Chain A
Amino acid sequence: MSDSTPHGLHEGPAVGQDEWVARHAERTLLRGGPLGTLEQRLRRVPWWAWLILFIAAFSLLPVFEQSGYVRRVSFDTVLYMLLALGLNVVVGWGGLLDLGYVAFYGIGAYAYALLDSDKFGIHLPTLVAVPLIVAIGAIVGLLLGLPSRRLTGDYLAIVTLFFLQLFQTITTNGDSINGHNVTGGPNGILRVDPLHLFGHDLAVQHGGVFAVSYLYVALGVFAIVFVALRYVNESRTGRAWRSLREDPLAAEAMGMPVNWLKLLSFGFGAAVAALTGTLFASLSASVFPLTFYFVLLITVYTMVILGGSGSQAGVVAGALIVGPMLEVLRDASKSRVVFFVALVGGLVLFSRRSRGLGIVALATLAVGFALHAILGAIDSSWIAGEHQGGFAGVVDHWVVAPAHLARWIQPASYIGLIAVVLLVTLVQGRLRLVLLVPTLYLAAFVWENVMLAKPEPARYIVLGLMLIALMILRPNGLLGERRVEII
């Protein structure tokens, strides 16, 4: 038994033996065939090799892609990855629900803007300013942790949320603190210095295009933060954080100072966020209060949860997916592709369990084309709100777009969609399959006629749908470890 291969399915312990039972979870997660073998091989690659590979691949991106837009999106994605790594310390390891997290990002950005701009005429060298700001971030994090150290769960969430609101209020009204203009109020702080490294300024633009230097600086910072946090997690402090997440009382009884460890995890998260804030401010050359608010908070949380809270690789993957995805969804024609791919993908995933779903998909298509043809023949205004060409053209021959009903179509289709979705969840068997046809068609209808007209909420709705689907399929996120709850 001792010489059995760790993943051998046939040479392992006999069925029902202790070891067989203990390895049940491991086995069910394993895939057979060449894909399974590949997966096992890949698992043996050490984390630092993945990191080097990832950084190398990312660094090559600007070589192949010259557009300033793509470079800027890449830079923002690296910032998201950093923010996700920092939040992972607090939420994933410490198990503390910190809803004030982006305030620390704001503190970092504002601190840099105050210490390196014409606002007060202070221009600290980058290599002095950045460490100073990281320290400030960590200290403010510790201070926030101080009154909240006895709080957990919902209570902690509320206190930290209040802190985010406090940050908003101060920065928005900071243009007249005792008559002094400190934060510039809603107008923010402008003309912030670029980073100044090795004797010269890092220009944001280079020949009118976004300069790559910032991307490389951000990637370097990301690598350092990733490794530093990894090492902390693999130390006694990291083990203590995870113990605290699992069972604070037992951790305390086993000699771990729980209150201090909570403060420490807050401090670490805050320091990473503040560091990321300096990168943001130096690149944007300006800071405004509303950048650091709920939308960003929700986005970073989505990344952490989608990727797998607690896993560094997971939260980075989450940022890599969500960051660019939000950009793609800005464009109606691209977001439409994402929507329909997600719709079909969802059906395919579920139809593994029931063959009827394949028929449903075909039926939905048929119903759509038929409805489109019939209604279009009766009155052309039923299909008047259409777009032209390509993928959109195909969809347009399927989904009706009644221009003459535009006024009441929005509330009616929403209510209708909610009603059929409710019905689908209530009924069972064949009836459910039959009801899926109008549900899918109505979903496409709502998307085409309502959502596309409002891309801003639409992209968050798509993101939310992705998150719901993933939570059903993989409750612990893409790369998260399987976890049990303490009962």
Chain B
Amino acid sequence: MPALLELRGVSLSFGGLHVAEGEVVSVIGPNGAGKTTLFNLITGIYHPDAGDIALDGESILGLQPHVISKRGVSRTFQTLRLFLNMSVKENVMAAAYGHTRAGVFRSMLRTPGMRREEREIERLAQERLAFFGKRLMGYRWDQPAYSLSYANRRRLEIARATATNPRILLLDEPAAGMNPAETHEMTELIGELRTEGGYTILVIEHDMHVVEGISDRVVALDHGVKIAEGSFDAVATNEKVIEAYLGLQAAATTK
């Protein structure tokens, strides 16, 4: 299968990673393994010392984050970075910036073209929010993002990420801080993002039930090194992976 996203010899010695179109790949590993760093490298927040990162065969190395977003890479943040004092709808509408055109002069004059585009952006936002059933609908649209519950904030971040019209979604611990029922819902949602949304997904997750439920392939990292790759079962039983996790557990119990 041709790779949609490909990392070659990126210097944190990932050793390479590729994600094919339509695939859901999970990245696992103990805390500090370099998972979020991997996301920061792909989205252009960090720059690798060596190696190359290619999207659909074209290098995106050294591009500014907003350009990479425009090329079709979107993400959520482990530590939730919503625009808290903006409304739920505006959070999603703001992310349409990259693929809309109206300049400041057209906006000041409110030309028909600009207004048409505004309506389209609003429709897009409603559609993206509707993806989450009733959770982010109705009265919530005009609520400030800070009024949302933790789980809804995670959902809103995903809705916002999809509003950039990405080809690949990078989800950083989408189920963190959720209860078992919500975690189950998130697992199904990621499946729907693939089947109905048509997104290719690279996801960091600690919850093994989620990882098992969604992944075509699993990549395990430890100390910035790829220690295993393959199906969930293969990686979950991999000796190095168990060692990495158990080692961490042992360290935690001796405290």
Contacts and interface: CB of A to CB of B under 8 A. Distances in A.
Contacts of B147: 22, 24-25
10 contacts: A24-B147, A232-B107, A235-B118, A236-B93, A236-B117, A239-B90, A251-B94, A253-B77, A254-B164, A268-B104
A228 interface: yes
B218 interface: no
Interface of B: 43, 45, 64-66, 69-70, 74-75, 77, 81-86, 90, 93-100, 102-104, 107-110, 114, 117-118, 121, 138-140, 143-144, 146-149, 160-161, 163-164
Contacts of B98: 254-256
Interface string A241-255: 011001101111111
A237 B83 contact: no
Given A246-B84, A254-B94, A18 B64 contact: no
Contacts of B64: 252, 257
A258 interface: yes
A341 B36 CA distance: 58
Given A242-B83, A246-B85, 6 more contacts: A24-B147, A236-B96, A236-B97, A242-B85, A243-B83, A247-B82
A246 B107 contact: no
Interface string A321-340: 00000000000000000000
A25 B81 CA distance: 22
Contacts of A2: 138
A253 B85 contact: no
A228 B105 CA distance: 9
A242 B65 CA distance: 18
Interface string A15-37: 00011011111000000000000
Contacts of B121: 236
Nearest to B121: A236
A234 B99 CA distance: 17
Contacts of A228: 108
A114 to B, nearest CB: 27
Contact of A256 (B77, B97, B139, B143): B97
Contacts, number: 123
Interface residue SS majority, chain A: helix
A486 B84 contact: yes
Contacts of B163: 254
Residue from the set A231, A250, A252, A484 with the largest chain B CB neighbour count within 10 Å: A250
A264 interface: yes
A459 to B, nearest CB: 34
Nearest to A261: B97
Given A235-B107, A249-B45, A250-B77, A240 B97 contact: yes
Given A243-B86, A246-B85, A246-B86, A254 B45 contact: no
Interface string A306-330: 0000000000000000000000000
B189 to A, nearest CB: 18
Contacts of B107: 231-232, 234-238
Contact of A255 (B45, B97, B117, B148): B97
Given A22-B147, A232-B104, A240-B97, A254 B74 contact: yes
Given A232-B104, A235-B104, A239-B86, A253 B93 contact: no
Contacts of A118: none
Contacts of A242: 83, 85-86, 90, 94
A253 B65 contact: yes
B158 to A, nearest CB: 12
Nearest to B101: A236
Contacts of A264: 104
B120 to A, nearest CB: 11
A483 interface: yes
Contact of A239 (B81, B97, B99): B97
Nearest to B145: A246
Contacts of B160: 254
B228 to A, nearest CB: 29
A113 to B, nearest CB: 28
Given A228-B108, A235-B104, A22 B143 contact: yes
A21 B143 CA distance: 12
A296 to B, nearest CB: 27
Interface in A145-188: none
Interface in A453-487: 481, 483-484, 486
Nearest to A485: B84
A231 B138 contact: no
Contact of A249 (B81, B99, B144): B81
A6 B118 CA distance: 25
A23 B107 CA distance: 32
Interface in A1-21: 2, 6, 18-19, 21
Contact of B85 (A6, A23, A238, A483): A483
B95 to A, nearest CB: 4
B94 A243 contact: yes
B81 A250 contact: yes
Contact of B82 (A24, A250, A268, A481): A250
A254 B109 CA distance: 26
A254 B97 contact: yes
A258 B66 contact: yes
Contacts of A19: 139
